[in-house]
Structure 1
Amino acid sequence: MQDNNIREKCRELATRLYELDGEVYESVGSSLGRTFTGDREGTIRNLSALMYTKPDGHLLRSEMALISNMARTIKDKEEKSRLMKKYDEIFQEILTLPETFVATDIMDKERVALNHMIKHREKISENDHLVICISRTQGSAGNDIGFGLADKLRINYYDVEIFDQVLRRLEAEKGAVNDAEYFADFNKYEKKHKSDPRGWFREFNRYHGLPKQDAVFFNMSDLICNLASKEDCIIMGRCADAILKNNHIPHISLFITAPFAIRVQHVMDVRKMNMKQAVRFLKKMDSQHRRYYNFYGGAQWGKPDNYDLCINSASYGINETENLILKLLDDQIH
């Protein structure tokens, strides 16, 4: 596509996505409101920019997941089918845009020939919902795999951006807190009671006897348990596997990673970083994930013993990793 053609295509798709959101909201009548709450022109312009400039594909992915999640709750089967067909058409056309969600695939071709499928020995009860909790190292394409898997399974997808929006909407009157903000700033939280005891005490009182970060986590835990007890879904991160295990809610836990050197190259390709920036970014993000999980999950992040399946995504690539997990689920369910 020529540059002008790509821009026009992005605007067309953004317009269709905005209108679909309105149709879904009208059919569902959700108290949460529309996914896109801004004015029409401004929203379409922002969506077009997300598709065209691709600064963070996960933002567009999360917006689309919110729409599809809501559409799947429509009770009228014909209306649900009609709107999901529209969603699928838009989604497939967005995938044809250059590097919309991810710049390059992640695959170590030399290892592909050594792959073998793994059968899982435990079965899921017919009465249980299919809940897949995915932890991942940064740069292993874990979010892309989770999103693609949710689309193939036609189940809901939840990541930190979606959880943040849902919590903000559900608890606006209570003063919702931004989970993404405080997860990214976990270092400050760990040191806060030492550097600012008075500030820590004020927050302790404000959140009903809990520090702010703890209040975020417990609100998130309640939401995760509620979702897992009511619907099939994929949950990215958030210590979801530990939360559901502690609450005795059936689930499948996966850990997706890849060799550090390959993750560095992947981040360089996707985020247009140089090697020094990519290495620093990966170490910082892995460290934040590890401390958050170890602190709240009460287990060791990334330790194989804590997961049902650990996958080296570089051995398969994004699509084949999704297919591997689908094969696993087929063995479990049937």
Structure 2
Amino acid sequence: MKNNTIITISRQYGSGGRLIGQKLAERLGIPFYDKELITLAAEESGFAEHLFEKNDRNITNSLLYSLSMYGNTMGLYDMPLNDKLFIAQSKTIQSVAEKGPCVIVGRCADYVLRNKPNVLNVFIHSDMESKVRRVVEDYGVESDNVVELINKTDKRRANYYNYYTGMKWGRAENYHLALRTDCIGIDGAVETLIRFIEAKNAEMEKEAAEAK
């Protein structure tokens, strides 16, 4: 299948979003980025990898406030560290997207690439029972307090996303497609995404032909 689509995947913890992204990238023959973005961002920016990894746990100052206070001419020098890290990571996301089709998991990629054509934004979610089972059986997490871990992880992801984008994590209007894996399964989600991409590309080709 000819594909020029960049797919961003936001997901609830334990919903299988990362696995879906991996399988989709393999089926389409395109690069997959998740934690790989941290390594790339660290190499390109000079910041240590562990700073990117914990940035979503330390949201304090507002990026928008920083920009309004310092203006575009001040660069990154006087910004809070967490905002510098977000900007550095965003540049890396934009850079890999410029290279061609790929699958990007998390890290507000849907927002970072909001002005880029040929982007498909997906949200993966599931019921709590399925998420608990996957976290325990597939992720190897001990069963004690798993529900609390899931809720805290999702709350942290929501806070990070809401803070940097000004939008609401998981809200339908922020995505092109939302899939519930307890209903459709991992492989079913991958097949649905492939069909969606095919239909989207066909529609774009039709519009381009009509515009000639």
2:60 match: 190
Structure 1 SS opposite 2:18? helix
Structure 1 SS opposite 2:104? strand
1:83 match: none
Structure 1 SS opposite 2:145? helix
Aligned pair partner of 2:93 in 207, 224, 227: 224
For residues 278-325 of structure 1, give each alpha carbon's deviation from its aligned partner in whole angstroms, at most 9, with x where no partner exists: 112101110110000000011000011111000001112111211111
Deviation of 1:249 (Å): 4.2
For residues 144-171 of structure 1, give each alpha carbon's deviation from its aligned partner in whole angstroms, at most 9, with x where no partner exists: 0000100010001110x20111122223
**Does the CA-based 8 Å contact 1:225-1:249 persist in structure 2?**
no
Alignment of 1:75-114 (within 5 A): none
Structure 2 SS opposite 1:155? coil
Q: Provide the C-alpha distance between the structure 2 equivalents of 1:250 and 1:214, rounded to a whole number of angstroms.
A: 27
Aligned pair partner of 2:180 in 294, 309, 312: 312
Q: Provide the C-alpha distance between the structure 2 equivalents of 1:218 and 1:169, rounded to a whole number of angstroms.
A: 14
The reply on whether 1:301 has 2:169 as its aligned counterpart is yes
Deviation of 1:273 (Å): 3.7
Q: Provide the C-alpha distance between the structure 2 equivalents of 1:129 and 1:226, rounded to a whole number of angstroms.
A: 16
Q: Which runs of 5+ in 2 are unaligned?
A: 62-73, 203-212
The reply on whether 1:262 has 2:130 as its aligned counterpart is yes
Structure 1 SS opposite 2:138? helix
Q: Provide the C-alpha distance between the structure 1 equivalents of 2:139 and 2:20, rounded to a whole number of angstroms.
A: 17
- What is the root-mean-square deviation of aligned Cα atoms in Å? 2.1
Q: Provide the C-alpha distance between the structure 2 equivalents of 1:163 and 1:295, rounded to a whole number of angstroms.
A: 20
**Does the CA-based 8 Å contact 2:10-2:123 persist in structure 1?**
yes
Q: Provide the C-alpha distance between the structure 1 equivalents of 2:142 and 2:86, rounded to a whole number of angstroms.
A: 34
Q: Which runs of 5+ in 1 are unaligned?
A: 1-125, 192-204
Structure 2 SS opposite 1:190? coil
2:106 match: 237
Structure 1 SS opposite 2:170? coil
Structure 2 SS opposite 1:271? coil
For normalisation by structure 1, the TM-score amounts to 0.52
2:27 match: 152
Aligned pair partner of 1:280 in 138, 143, 148: 148
Deviation of 1:176 (Å): 4.2
Deviation of 1:133 (Å): 0.6
Which letter does structure 2 place at the counterpart of 1:134? Answer: I
Q: Identity percentage over the alignment?
A: 27
Structure 1 SS opposite 2:135? helix
Alignment of 1:58-69 (within 5 A): none
Structure (1 or 2) with the greater helix fraction:
1
The reply on whether 1:130 has 2:5 as its aligned counterpart is yes
2:44 match: 170
Which letter does structure 2 place at the counterpart of 1:316? Answer: I
**Does the CA-based 8 Å contact 1:167-1:176 persist in structure 2?**
no
Which letter does structure 2 place at the counterpart of 1:170? Answer: E
Q: Provide the C-alpha distance between the structure 1 equivalents of 2:191 and 2:79, rounded to a whole number of angstroms.
A: 42
Deviation of 1:275 (Å): 4.0
Q: Provide the C-alpha distance between the structure 2 equivalents of 1:211 and 1:129, rounded to a whole number of angstroms.
A: 36
Which is higher, the Rg of structure 1 or of structure 2? 1
For residues 168-197 of structure 1, give each alpha carbon's deviation from its aligned partner in whole angstroms, at most 9, with x where no partner exists: 22233xx445311222x23xx438xxxxxx
2:70 match: none
Q: Provide the C-alpha distance between the structure 1 equivalents of 2:18 and 2:157, rounded to a whole number of angstroms.
A: 14
Structure 2 SS opposite 1:220? helix
**Does the CA-based 8 Å contact 1:229-1:249 persist in structure 2?**
no
Aligned pair partner of 2:83 in 214, 218, 221: 214
| Higher relative contact order (CA closer than 8 Å, sequence separation 6+) | 2
Structure 2 SS opposite 1:255? strand
For residues 185-243 of structure 1, give each alpha carbon's deviation from its aligned partner in whole angstroms, at most 9, with x where no partner exists: 23xx438xxxxxxxxxxxxx9x6111111011101111112222231111101111111
For normalisation by structure 2, the TM-score amounts to 0.81
Q: Provide the C-alpha distance between the structure 2 equivalents of 1:144 and 1:271, rounded to a whole number of angstroms.
A: 11
Deviation of 1:274 (Å): 4.5
Count how many residue pairs are aligned between Structure 1 and Structure 2. 187
